[in-house]
Structure 1
């Protein structure tokens, strides 16, 4: 059985910009990608020909830490856009636009290189950037009160090339020792919204990565994905239930009973709670 290595939890703060309808700052573990999201919603579509009569136009702009955006950033933008289209209730505000701007503030330093040259180049993996940018975008949408079908979050998982250990949120040095990297995004009810993989891996190691990602995002794991067809149908509302009918609460692993895991959804909820407390603090004066 593979060893699971769970790193420190990420950090999230809402409403970090003043001139946006919604904003957030997401900081990945190991002082890796720190992304600031600015969200404007709903706004007028610049060109009438781009209007969608039955839905909301979603625009995602990703700005790198230095230089200008290239193929890597354009690919990440498209993946985030598709994910947001799956969870945003676009039919509630047709003929308008949801504008998401993502700015990479800092990246992790690679101490193995002379002078600690920072990562994030075009030749490196895009999965760590995608994970942080997607979480920042969802946080920004929450702060902007964007109507969404469900809450979602993402996690990055690596499979070590040496002992096959499964590492969640691997740092830049850990990624160099990984045979494969996997990024998963889940909704709060356990549905898989996005999955991207790099490297050489077997189906067994991919399943181990999916298990670890669920644990990192949801705080619990399930054996079968809500959308997986194995001869029997699985109800999405039952994806968090134990065999005895009990429901796995956030921060609890349904298979191991481990309640010490701080999942990404818990970090998002705490950021929302802090935002509400700050907004309501004037009532105490």
Structure 2
């Protein structure tokens, strides 16, 4: 039986901005969203009315690729804010603010479609932006030394309208053929932190999408431990036993979102400690 594989992992780099307490750049697979996160923490709350006597006030600002933010961006900001509030140890720095600024640097473009369709328009789904923005925000918080209960990662899952095939990180063309899209965020110990869906789907479809997301976020071993009732290798199983991860082959190792985050942190530590070798 074939296992779901990811041949084109996301990319992440820490401390990409000089004038922020923490920063990161996250690039989604297959030329998807590229988002730069700038984090300042802890900073003074600008308005006394926003101060939380026993916790940290979280502010998230999302700036689109072009133009000004609208309803789509405001909704993503709110989801990320609520997710960070569940993660940050706010009682460690009460009456202060965690300020997260997210700038969309680039979006996916497909010139084969009429007019060269771009991802990210107000008529497009917000789910791919949500996953990339959340991952960028978490990376920025790690770089800034924000005290958090755990680390989380997110992935986008699509279900094909024709055959129910599960597609991880679907591109702008693949999304046109999906009956539903889903974003799942999991903590490093496998707990579900966020679920957002749109489209038409059954509970069985949602379960299959969640299994694929666990594999994409947690990796093979962690995904199996977190979901011991379901074999993670069946996450993208089709009736004929085939799977799909955005068109990748079956001979590559799974590189999960949390793997990418760990490697980015390791690279940051190595860079910080390089002066010891001089």
TM-score between both structures, scaled by the size of structure 2: 0.88
Aligned length: 261
Is the 8 Å Cα contact of residues 23 and 144 (structure 2) preserved in structure 1? Answer: yes
The alpha carbon displacement at 1:4 in A equals 4.7
Is the 8 Å Cα contact of residues 4 and 233 (structure 2) preserved in structure 1? Answer: no
Structure 2 gap ranges (5+): 235-250
Q: Secondary structure at the match of 1:280?
A: helix
| Residues 229-275 of structure 1, C-alpha deviations (whole Å, 9 max, x = no match) | xxxxxxxxxx54869xxxxxxxxx96449992110000000000000
Which residue is 1:66 aligned to?
A: 66
The alpha carbon displacement at 1:49 in A equals 1.4
Which residue is 1:137 aligned to?
A: 137
| Residues 78-118 of structure 1, C-alpha deviations (whole Å, 9 max, x = no match) | 00000001111001000000000000000000223345242
CA RMSD of aligned residues (A): 2.3
Q: Distance in 1 between matches of 2:107 and 2:38?
A: 19
Q: Flag the structure with more relative contact order, 1 or 2, with Cα contacts below 8 A and sequence separation at least 6.
A: 2
* 2:271 is the counterpart of 1:282: no
The alpha carbon displacement at 1:7 in A equals 5.2
The alpha carbon displacement at 1:188 in A equals 0.4
Q: Secondary structure at the match of 2:183?
A: strand
Which residue is 1:260 aligned to?
A: 253
Q: Distance in 2 between matches of 1:35 and 1:147?
A: 22
* 2:265 is the counterpart of 1:272: yes
Structure 1's 106 and 222: CA in aligned 2 closer, same or farther, altered over 3 A? Answer: closer
Q: Distance in 1 between matches of 2:2 and 2:208?
A: 8
Matches within 5 A, 1:246-257: 255-256=232-233
State which drifts further: 255-264 or 200-209: 255-264
Is the 8 Å Cα contact of residues 7 and 29 (structure 1) preserved in structure 2? Answer: no
The alpha carbon displacement at 1:12 in A equals 0.2
Is the 8 Å Cα contact of residues 5 and 253 (structure 2) preserved in structure 1? Answer: no
Which residue is 2:194 aligned to?
A: 194
Which residue is 2:183 aligned to?
A: 183
